[in-house]
Structure 1
């Protein structure tokens, strides 16, 4: 289809035409109702009614909900394919009210011009056709074509005005950017939670199942099954809590997140999986802010999981202390077959947690052992 005709066949062109004609309806009602336009010239009547339009539209713009109504209508009729460029929130201040007033006045003014042009084009078309179609009917496409292109340009101008005057303010754009950042951080946090919790449960389950298959002792198998059941139940609780957060149900109550007081459960699971654990965590949850206690649990969980994964059966040593206002956590395990090398998702997740809490995390090989060391400031974590 030739470019000159393509815009004339787009549905949005006629939706914008309708939006423009709504403006002329308002101006027409004022002309019919306002008594000051009676018995005066057409020019004086236009000036008087225009002044009344400006006053009424400016007064309407002072109502915060008017900006929302205009934004919703403009999104539907002017830019359905990129509606995010037009705001749909109530006026938040006098600047928004002023922009809304300018928008209303510009909308009615431009709509009035397009409405007058529409009436004129219909009048010319009727004159060309006449009571009986004649040679003049051949010229009928000309005014129709001119009117439609006027509508195209006026619609584009109306869209630009809507994006400029009804578009999100600087405060709204900042709020939207902060909301997107918060959602991204929340998704990343949930991803780390799933990785740590489910990864730990699967690691312990695989090790226990493998050991139970190799050992013929029924008592050992029973203990292995109990350990698998325990870690599986905890993983299901964590998964349910995260699903509650993802569903965002108003009446849902997420399960309590484990804190540092429950790290003993991790050590018992590791021992049941065949890895001796030497733990010295001289920190209580009551001594730490809630967020730091929960994140410390996840860090220890990931450290134990990595040890079980890369050095199954090897001893694990965990330490936890508050030194000079800083929570220091460390996890050591023997390097087996080159395992324990850093750079994986687990260590990356630990570093992300530490950085978000204002601390740092390192993982390195020291004297034939893999040492994970995390430092978290206690006073900044709350």
Structure 2
């Protein structure tokens, strides 16, 4: 009896009863139309009139279900009561396209149509079946109202009456279960995501993933660089703590400056995560962070000797390109701290041309095999992503016995912006 009266079957039956209730306003309007051209006094008592009103009601229900908000209401009811399998997702949000509206209208019409039939059967057949089950007890009385017709006043008919009533109830439960299963089977087709819905969902996921990747790059480049610099400087200071107090003093100053700068950058990243309400829900965080104007402070306390040369005016570089260039230099210095040699200074050259910013960072090779860290290796990929997002390119590898990182970031010139 579980398929007919189990929890899922009862929920689907309730879903059909709700569909019948939703059909009633349309059915009553249909009865008004029928009464305009029928001459019978009792319009509601005629089965033909009822079927005609039912036929009028379904097109009206289909038209009203074309509104976009009809789909989320239908989806909510179907998810709660239809017992859908988890691998058959339904669409979220209003129906924006014509295809989605037509599908949701077809679902609503099917729901209220089957619901009207099952609701009518439930309201009429249940009392009738109960009366049939009680026939042997009702005929035992002498009331003329309860007396059966002579054709049915037989012992074997009365003995079979309870079984006939139970069969009617079982048939009703079977019809409700079949109608509920039909709705559950059609729900993913008519209420499932359309190709446009899938495309919109993919775009939303891509935007969310881009924001997450950007935040990961910011944390990796700022906090990762600071931790590498602080670790190396603290280790060097510990080794010469007793023999070179001046070096220890300089190392502690560099650690202090690095941590202070990184705390500010971390606050910026956390501010991107905790956007104010007026920024808009789901809006990407506003870009922020240090640019090339903060490069001197980074080079002074990075833990490495750096020979820096500049060609061109960095102030002509747009803020977004300046920020990405700063992060690229920061990650390049972090790699030099972790993997580079200590015999020669790092060489950094920044060139600003018409419409392009080129950053070249050369660091000595250590001669040791690179240390593989669990979960590491994201720095160079982050540099490439930063360059590609701006329409540029980045490459890194051994060059003339040193490790070279080159990034070229294009930007529009004032003449191009005016076009």
Shorter-chain TM-score: which interval?
Answer: 0.7 to 0.9
User: 1:237, 1:255 within 8 Å by CA — same for their partners in 2?
Assistant: no
C-alpha spacing 1:211/1:12, structure 2 compared with 1 (3 Å): same
- What is the CA–CA distance in structure 1 between the aligned matches of 2:48 and 2:385, rounded to whole Å? 70
When residues 156 and 8 of structure 1 are mapped into structure 2, their CA distance, relative to the original with a 3 A threshold, is: same
Structure-2 separation of matches of 1:84 and 1:247: 34
Deviation at 1:287, TM superposition (A): 2.3
Cα distance, 1:304 vs structure 2 = 0.6
Instruction: Give a deviation string over 1:128-167, Cα, whole Å, max 9, x none.
Output: 5215676654566644444334333322322344333333
TM-score normalised by L of structure 1: 0.84
- Count how many residue pairs are aligned between Structure 1 and Structure 2: 373
Q: CA RMSD in A?
A: 3.3
- Could you tell which deviates more after superposition, 109-118 or 9-18? 9-18
Name the residue aligned to 1:44: 49
Query: Aligned pair 1:316/2:312, yes or no?
Result: no
In structure 2, distance between residues paired with 1:289 and 1:79 = 55
What secondary structure sits across from 1:309 in the alignment? helix
- For the residues of structure 2 that align with 1:122 and 1:113, how far apart are their CA atoms? 14
Q: Does 1:194 align with 2:219?
A: yes
CA contact (8 A) 1:13 1:152 kept: yes
Highest Rg: 1 or 2? 2
Are 2:391 and 2:409, in contact at CA under 8 Å, matched by a contact in 1? yes
By how many angstroms is 1:269 displaced? 1.4
Structure 1 counterpart of 2:239, from 190, 210, 214: 214
Displacement after TM superposition at 1:323 (Å): 4.1
Specify every segment of 5 or more residues in structure 2 that has no aligned partner in the other structure, as ranges.
36-40, 138-158, 280-284
Residue 225 of structure 1 corresponds to 252
Partner residue of 1:298 out of 322, 327, 333: 327
**Bigger mean CA offset, 345-354 vs 242-251:** 242-251
Asked if 2 retains the 8 angstrom alpha-carbon contact of 1:196 and 1:302, the reply is yes
Mapped pair 1:245 → 2:296: no
Residue of structure 2 in register with 1:101 after alignment: 105
Matched-pair contact (CA < 8 Å) for 1:103–1:165 = yes
* Rounded Cα–Cα distance in structure 2 between residues aligned with 1:95 and 1:340: 56
Residue 63 of structure 1 deviates from its aligned partner by: 3.8
CA contact (8 A) 1:276 1:313 kept: no
Cα distance change on mapping 1:319 and 1:90 into 2, 3 Å: same
Query: Could you say if the C-alpha distance between residues 198 and 10 of structure 1 is closer, same or farther in structure 2, counting changes exceeding 3 Å?
Result: farther
Q: 2:365 aligns with which of 315, 335, 342?
A: 335
**What SS does the aligned partner of 1:105 have?**
helix
CA distance in 2, matches of 1:184, 1:206: 31
**Residues 248-257 or 366-375, more deviating:** 248-257
